[in-house]
Structure 1
């Protein structure tokens, strides 16, 4: 059986990310040596909107940390150590860059379950990561 030593969980703070976090707990259960990183990417458009609205940077940071609480709580309840990386940019690109920089064994990402037409019209971070990643990607629906 494949023993994962490092996992990157891409989280947008949605219920889909929480479901993906629950799968990560299952994957790491019983392991003692592992590296677990949560990555939350603030896309450029959201960052520009916040600046335009003159949102206080401290308030913005607290809001982003609050979004991650459900995922963090899942890992804390399972007694899994983790780190958090908050970054800005194109979400798919930043997820892949972080996975390469940290040399993780697997990327885990939740999917909203867009149908083919929605995905074609809207695109999806999940789809881009699956198509371009240079390592295994587990998509949780």
Structure 2
């Protein structure tokens, strides 16, 4: 069974995710920021930001996949098909731990993006520091 409170945090994050996901609809950072802002940066900065953007975008998609596994497959097997908890837990080992890990990682990545937004903008950002999030994860 899920950790108490984790489901609420997960649901809140998924709601936030839908809003934040719109920020990551573009294929790359270079396409997500305004052209004038992009042109202020050197090629190496652009490449680095594209990679960071792709990392966050991948994490957003991974959380959606985990939500589908948890809310549709696992929940459906337990509630609709009335499958045994042990059987379902065997099919989805450590799913709650994975969700908790990725909730924390994605929350920190999105917070870093918000902190890195250019003042007065909701599109233009440069993330200069990321290693601390990855090391602490």
Normalising by structure 1, report the TM-score.
0.26
| Greater Rg by CA | 2
Higher helix share: 2
Q: Which has the higher contact order (CA 8 A, sep 6+)?
A: 1
Normalising by structure 2, report the TM-score.
0.27
